Amino acid sequence: MNNRYASRFALGAVLTLAGALAAPASAQMADLRSQPLPGIRNEPAQAAQPTGPLPSMKFDRTEHNFGTIFDDQRQTTLLHFWNEGPGVLEILEWRGSCSCTVGTLHKEGEDPDHPVGTPDESGILPMVRFQPGERGWLEIQYDPHGKAGIQAQTVSFTINDPVNAVRVFRISANVIPVVRVEPAIANFNAVTKGVGASLEVFVTGRTEDFEVVEATFAGNEFVSVEIGQTIDLLLNEHGQWVPAEEVEGDADDVAHSGDEAALKAEGAEQPEGDAHAGHDHAGESASDGGMQPILDDTGPQRLRRTRLLVTVSPEAQPGRLYGSITVRTNDP
């Protein structure tokens, strides 16, 4: 436990029921219209008409899904492309959106020591030409750090095709934080003085023995944090994270139903007290605590979750209460 993951999240509470009446502010936006200048005719610009043979940039695929990954797992993929048109393809620029980093652009047959897409000393990308039929590739790196849930990013190419000047390649992933705190903001809203209040916060991790080893509150002496039970989470048939006992309990029910069917087929009587054995989970909502559903089987199948109980003492003084909770876990 030398390497500990620390996470902080905000907590807010209002210990007095207070309100303020404010008149809605409004503003009128001026209706700005294009007015012709004296002696000048305002006419819409005409798009340049393409002349001569045109290039046509083609991708080996239009999108790539990295599947379900943790937010500390950088991903890499190669995008292959070629010029399918009769004209020369000029790639003027290539860039990734947030969290998506593009590497050096390459051309088949290039000098391996001098890739055609190497930027200059100032970091400026060169313009790269591809003759008809020539092929190339681009390494795309995705950093999911700080992301959670379904993510969508893009890589864009600006080319000399007057019909389709920007080509877009799409990146997607289902990102699970290494340690997830829910809710990220614990809001008590209004708390009655002399009564106090409590709420639950859940901390979810990936390791087999994951647990919260320390939780402290900073900001107010009347708020305390208690570390509760740590349980296993499994994926149910709907792709939701639920307590392991719910999934394993359902499996036991299915097995028990099969045993009952076998007994009936043999004409045997059921053992006394087993007629209604098992648990009925119909209509129950999944206890996933807001975790993003897993849409594929490429990621983890089991997580661990620790329950924290945050309490505002009845002795807390009236006024607004703010602070933060620091959580330490045994995740290396």
Distance (Å, whole) CA 306 – CA 76 = 32
Residue 18 has a pLDDT of: 32
How do beta strands 63-70 and 166-176 pair? parallel
pLDDT in tens, the chain (332 residues): 444 555 555 554 444 333 333 344 444 444 444 454 444 444 544 445 567 899 999 999 999 999 988 888 999 999 999 999 999 999 999 999 886 788 889 999 999 999 999 999 998 999 999 999 999 999 999 999 888 889 999 999 999 999 999 999 999 999 988 888 888 888 888 888 889 899 999 999 888 899 999 999 888 888 999 999 999 998 888 778 889 888 776 544 544 455 555 445 555 444 444 433 333 333 333 344 455 544 455 566 788 999 999 999 999 888 888 888 899 998 87
CA dihedral (140, 143, 149, 153) positive or negative? negative
CB atoms within 10 A of CB 289: 20
Contact 181/7 with Cβ under 8 angstroms?
A: yes
- Residue 331, φ and ψ in degrees, nearest 5: -70, 125
Radius of gyration of the chain (CA): 30
Residue 280 has a pLDDT of: 39
Residue 229 has a pLDDT of: 94
Question: What single string gives the DSSP state of each residue in 291-326?
Answer: PPPP-SSSS-SEEEEEEEEEEE-TTPPSSEEEEEEE
Name residue 327's beta-bridge partners: 7, 215
- Full set of structural domains in the chain with CATH: 5-15+178-261+289-329 (no CATH), 57-176 (2.60.40.10)
CB atoms within 10 A of CB 93: 13
Residue 241 has a pLDDT of: 82
Residue 187 has a pLDDT of: 87
CA dihedral (279, 281, 284, 285) positive or negative? positive
* H or E element at residue 1: none
